[in-house]
């Protein structure tokens, strides 16, 4: 999760993500286009690497062409961690109800928390 | 005409096994826990029908195109209600790859074949990240939950 916050803590990288949100499957050249005044190709490549490491973009190779797609799943994980907590409680309640109705016993061991 | 720039490609890494992930994606007992309460239902044989059922009502229907357990699953996707029902089916592909040397599995979801200005594309773009994030947390933090296999 550190990598995601670090990647998002930069206006240029957020702009690149906005660009990919509007249009998926862009090549490096396509991504550079709107930033031609403000960023060198080298700088864009550096940003893309950081975004890729944070899993905020997905690369799909098509022959020798590298296409970039926005991958908002890690951002959703952030939302899940802090915003959807109450929804999770509802899910747990539903699961408990299911066990009660089916007469099965849910395991009572404490839940392990994932590292990410 | 379908447009490639309309495609979605989502990736998540999950601490689980390909077999468990396959089960989580294909068994309604599992999907209803993280997929907006939807039962994803099929016998997962190539050519068989596939449906998303919620509250006893079919929301999405489609056909199984590829079923290579536990590596690759692909089906057509057609919303049965609302404006989007007039659009031709799109295509969902789920690819499961173990990450070498780790206990992690990479799941890639590709949703393709949207028509230009598709009416259902915006809701799809919000749906998958939520589904994948829910799936990841269920499989990773649910280690001690009942795993209905």
CB within 8 Å: B133 and A73: yes
- The answer to the question of residue A100 being in a domain is yes
Q: Is the pLDDT of residue A110 over 90?
A: no
- The answer to the question of residue B33 being in a domain is yes
Angle CA(B6)–CA(B79)–CA(B57) in degrees, nearest 5? 150
Do A59 and A90 belong to one domain?
no
pLDDT tier at A106, thresholds 50, 70, 90: low
- The answer to the question of residue B148 being in a domain is no
Instruction: Give the per-residue pLDDT at B43.
Output: 98
How high is the ipTM of this complex? 0.73
Mean pLDDT of chain B: 89
- pLDDT tens column, B49-70: 999 999 999 999 999 999 999 9
CB within 8 Å: A77 and B13: no
Phi, psi of A22 (to 5 degrees): -70, -35
Do A41 and A30 belong to one domain?
yes
Domain holding A50: CATH number?
1.10.10.10
- The answer to the question of residue B72 being in a domain is yes
How many domains does chain B divide into?
Answer: 1
**Residues of chain A positioned with their CB less than 8 A from the CB of B134:** 80
> What distance in Å separates the CA atoms of residue B40 and residue B32, rounded to the nearest whole number?
8
Do A82 and A35 belong to one domain?
no
Average pLDDT over residues A33-57: 96
Q: Does B118 touch chain A (CB under 8 A)?
A: no
Provide the pairing of β-strand B8-15 with B49-54.
Answer: unpaired
- pLDDT tens column, B88-104: 999 999 999 999 999 99
CB within 8 Å: A106 and B108: no
> What distance in Å separates the CA atoms of residue B41 and residue B61, rounded to the nearest whole number?
10
What domain range includes position A39?
Answer: 2-71
> What distance in Å separates the CA atoms of residue B36 and residue B32, rounded to the nearest whole number?
7
Do A22 and A58 belong to one domain?
yes
Do A93 and A36 belong to one domain?
no
- The answer to the question of residue B103 being in a domain is yes
Instruction: Give the per-residue pLDDT at A116.
Output: 40
Do A65 and A8 belong to one domain?
yes
Do A63 and A27 belong to one domain?
yes
Domain holding B124: CATH number?
3.30.530.20
**Residues of chain B positioned with their CB less than 8 A from the CB of A80:** 133-134, 137
What domain range includes position B63?
Answer: 4-143
Do A27 and A43 belong to one domain?
yes
Q: Does B127 touch chain A (CB under 8 A)?
A: no
- The answer to the question of residue B149 being in a domain is no
């Amino acid at each position: 999760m550190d990598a995601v916050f670090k990647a998002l803590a930069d206006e240029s990288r957020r702009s690149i993500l906005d660009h990919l949100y509007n249009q998926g499957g862009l090549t490096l050249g396509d991504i550079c286009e709107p930033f031609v005044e403000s960023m060198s190709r080298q700088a864009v490549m550096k940003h893309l690497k950081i975004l890729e490491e944070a899993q905020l973009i997905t690369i799909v190779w098509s022959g020798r062409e590298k296409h970039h797609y926005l991958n908002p799943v890690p951002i959703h994980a952030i939302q899940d961690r802090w915003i959807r907590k109450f929804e999770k409680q509802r899910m747990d309640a539903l699961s408990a109800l299911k066990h009660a109705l089916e007469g099965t016993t849910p395991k009572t061991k404490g839940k392990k928390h994932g590292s990410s | 005409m379908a447009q490639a720039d309309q495609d979605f490609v989502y990736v998540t890494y999950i601490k689980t096994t390909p077999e468990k992930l396959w089960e989580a994606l294909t068994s309604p007992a599992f999907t209803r826990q993280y997929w907006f309460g939807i039962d994803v239902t099929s016998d997962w044989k190539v050519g068989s029908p596939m449906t998303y059922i919620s509250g006893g009502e079919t929301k999405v229907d489609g056909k199984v195109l590829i079923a290579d357990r536990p590596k690759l699953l692909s089906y057509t996707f057609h919303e049965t209600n609302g404006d989007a029902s007039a659009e031709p089916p799109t295509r969902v592909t789920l690819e499961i790859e173990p990450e070498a040397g780790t206990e992690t599995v990479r799941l890639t979801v590709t949703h393709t074949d949207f028509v230009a200005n598709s009416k259902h594309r915006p809701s799809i773009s919000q749906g998958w990240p939520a589904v994948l994030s829910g799936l990841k947390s269920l499989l990773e933090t649910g280690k001690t939950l009942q795993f209905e296999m």
